[in-house]
């Protein structure tokens, strides 16, 4: 179980680090434009998220990779992925043909991107549950 | 001789496509727009972004706008509209026809009256010329050349906007507000 959890969290960490990398390698205003295209948030918040969200993804990726504060990092990653999935599903349902901005630009929201995000969310929830169970087992044993 | 003829045709076609571009060709930023007259998002881009961009950057020599026709196969009248717009460029009415096609998009996309829509703002002499040109294989070739250019640039959706500044290319996400795009252009120009 320990190794299984490690494999899952490392896979999730790699996804978060890669997602952050694809956003940080391009001007942050391009990512802000992608967020703005969802037409959910006011412009100032799209600009603020455009600057900060890639760093949050990077921090979560590094925390997941290191295993430090795992249950909190995994829970935060699950919440973030759930928000992404909800927002993407809403835009897709409304027929908006916009970039998902998941891994850089040029990928329109589609059943493929929605399925991928759903799989990542399931993975993240699994890591969260396993990390919490492990924490509980450790504290009971102590 | 055939190669020479092909080169001549390509040069003529390139010259004709320049009639659809706007601004100073030596502007620091080149903006390539791949658009479909029947696509609602392209209408939004035209009305909310390209119109204000004209005043703020194109007319001031900061951005050179390159129009590329990219009619999508699922839009029944998009190809015809693209041909009419290209034909209109040859009588110096591209901008006016663009504006009209986007403004009345819903109507002609439903009833298919592209010819009637375009010719409503042309003089009878211009209308005759544009009608003939819209069916000219050279105009169709010009549109197809734009589509090919789009495929080469990996355009898969409309509108697609690509900014080029000092040989670096930036793909602009569709649907973003003009204000954020303006910030980005200002940032590029300030560098």
Residue B173's domain is classified under what CATH number? Answer: 3.40.30.10
Q: ipTM of this complex > 0.90? A: no
Which residues are CB-contacts of B46 (< 8 A; sequence separation ≥ 6)?
A: B35, B98, B99, B102
Angle at which helices B78-89 and B2-17 pack, to 10 degrees?
90
Region at B154 (left for phi over 0; alpha for psi -120 to 50; beta for the rest): left
Question: Is some CB atom of chain B closer than 8 A to the CB atom of A11?
Answer: no
Taking contacts as CB-CB distances below 8 angstroms, the residues of chain B near A108 are 156-157
Q: Identify the burial level of A21 via C-beta atoms within 10 angstroms of its C-beta, where 0-12 means exposed, 13-18 middle and 19 or more buried.
A: middle
Beta bridge mates, B29: B63, B165
Question: Is some CB atom of chain B closer than 8 A to the CB atom of A30?
Answer: yes
Residue B147 resides in a domain: yes
Residue B7 confidence class, pLDDT cut points 50, 70, 90: very low
Q: Among residues 38-77 of chain B, which lie with CB inside 8 Å of chain A?
A: 41
Question: Is some CB atom of chain A closer than 8 A to the CB atom of B180?
Answer: yes
User: 3-state DSSP call for residue B170?
Assistant: strand
Cβ-Cβ contacts under 8 Å between A and B: the total is 56
Q: Among residues 92-121 of chain A, which lie with CB inside 8 Å of chain B?
A: 96-99, 101, 105-106, 108
What would the pLDDT profile of A80-107 be if each residue is shown by its tens digit?
Answer: 999 999 999 999 999 888 889 999 877 8
Helix/strand number for chain A, H first, E second: 5, 0
Taking contacts as CB-CB distances below 8 angstroms, the residues of chain B near A99 are 173-174
What is the C-alpha separation between A92 and A90, in angstroms, rounded? 5
CA-based nearest distance B158→chain A, Å: 9
What is the C-alpha separation between A28 and A51, in angstroms, rounded? 6
CB A5, CB A63: distance < 8 Å: no
Show the tokens assigned to B144: 């197809």
Backbone CA torsion sign across A35, A39, A45, A47: positive
Taking contacts as CB-CB distances below 8 angstroms, the residues of chain A near B41 are 97
CB B86, CB B92: distance < 8 Å: no
Q: Where are the beta strands (DSSP E) in chain B?
A: 29-35, 63-69, 160-165, 168-172
Q: Among B156, B170, B180, whose Cβ lies nearest the Cβ of A43?
A: B180
CB B32, CB B66: distance < 8 Å: yes
Q: What are phi and psi of B27, to 5 degrees?
A: -60, 150
DSSP string, A17-77: HHHHHHHHTS-HHHHHHHHHHT--S-HHHHHHHHHHHHHHHHHHHHHHHHTTTHHHHHHHH
CB B34, CB B70: distance < 8 Å: yes
Residue B2 resides in a domain: no
Number of Cβ atoms within 10 Å of the Cβ of B34: 24
Tell me the pTM: 0.83
Q: Among B170, B175, B177, whose Cβ lies nearest the Cβ of A43?
A: B177
Average pLDDT over residues B33-58: 93
Taking contacts as CB-CB distances below 8 angstroms, the residues of chain A near B174 are 37, 97-99
Residue B4 resides in a domain: no
Backbone CA torsion sign across B117, B123, B126, B131: positive
Q: Residue A97 and residue B41: Cβ atoms within 8 Å? A: yes
- Domain extent for B162: 22-183
Lowest mean pLDDT among A81-85, B8-12, B99-103, B114-118: B8-12
Which residues are CB-contacts of B134 (< 8 A; sequence separation ≥ 6)?
A: B80, B83, B84, B86, B87, B115
Q: To 5 degrees, how large is the angle CA B140–CA B144–CA B147?
A: 145
DSSP B109: H
Q: Residue A106 and residue B176: Cβ atoms within 8 Å? A: no
Q: How many domains does chain B have?
A: 1
- Which one of A92, A97, A104 would you mutate to disrupt binding with B, by most B Cβ within 10 Å of its Cβ? A97
| pLDDT per residue rounded down to tens, chain A (142 residues) | 778 889 999 999 999 999 999 999 999 999 999 999 999 999 999 999 999 999 999 999 999 999 999 999 999 999 999 999 999 999 999 988 888 999 987 788 999 999 999 999 999 999 999 998 876 665 545 4
Show the tokens assigned to B105: 């998009």
Show the tokens assigned to A8: 């899952």
Q: Residue A108 and residue B172: Cβ atoms within 8 Å? A: no
Domain boundaries along the sequence of chain A = 2-141
């Amino acid at each position: 179980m320990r190794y299984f959890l490690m494999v899952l969290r490392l896979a999730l960490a790699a996804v978060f680090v890669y997602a952050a990398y694809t956003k940080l390698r391009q001007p942050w205003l391009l990512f802000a434009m992608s967020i703005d295209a969802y037409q959910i948030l006011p412009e100032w918040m799209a600009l603020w998220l455009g600057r900060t969200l890639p760093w949050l993804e990077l921090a979560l990726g590094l925390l997941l990779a290191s295993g430090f504060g795992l249950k909190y990092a995994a829970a935060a990653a699950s919440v973030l992925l759930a928000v992404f999935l909800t927002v993407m599903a809403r835009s897709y349902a409304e027929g908006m043909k916009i970039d998902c901005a998941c891994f850089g630009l040029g990928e329109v929201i589609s059943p493929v991107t929605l399925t991928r995000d759903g799989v990542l969310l399931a993975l993240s929830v699994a890591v969260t549950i396993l990390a919490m169970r492990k924490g509980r087992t450790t504290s009971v044993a102590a | 001789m055939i190669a020479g003829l092909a080169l001549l045709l390509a040069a003529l076609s390139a010259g004709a496509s320049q009639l659809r571009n706007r601004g100073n060709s030596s502007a620091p930023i080149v903006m390539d727009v791949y658009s479909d007259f029947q696509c609602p998002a392209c209408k939004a881009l035209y009305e909310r972004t390209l119109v204000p961009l004209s005043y703020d950057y194109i007319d001031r020599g900061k951005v050179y706008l390159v129009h590329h026709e990219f009619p999508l196969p699922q839009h029944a009248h998009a190809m015809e509209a693209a041909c009419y717009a290209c034909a209109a460029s040859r009588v110096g009415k591209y901008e006016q026809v663009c504006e009209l096609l986007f403004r009345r998009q819903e109507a002609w996309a439903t009833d298919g009256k592209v010819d009637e829509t375009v010719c409503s703002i042309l003089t009878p002499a211009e209308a005759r010329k544009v009608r003939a040109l819209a069916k000219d294989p050279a105009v169709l070739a010009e549109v197809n050349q734009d589509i090919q250019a789009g495929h080469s640039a990996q355009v898969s959706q409309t509108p697609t906007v690509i900014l080029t500044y000092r040989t670096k290319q930036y793909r602009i996400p569709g649907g973003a507000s003009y204000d954020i795009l303006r910030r980005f252009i200002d940032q590029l120009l300030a560098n």
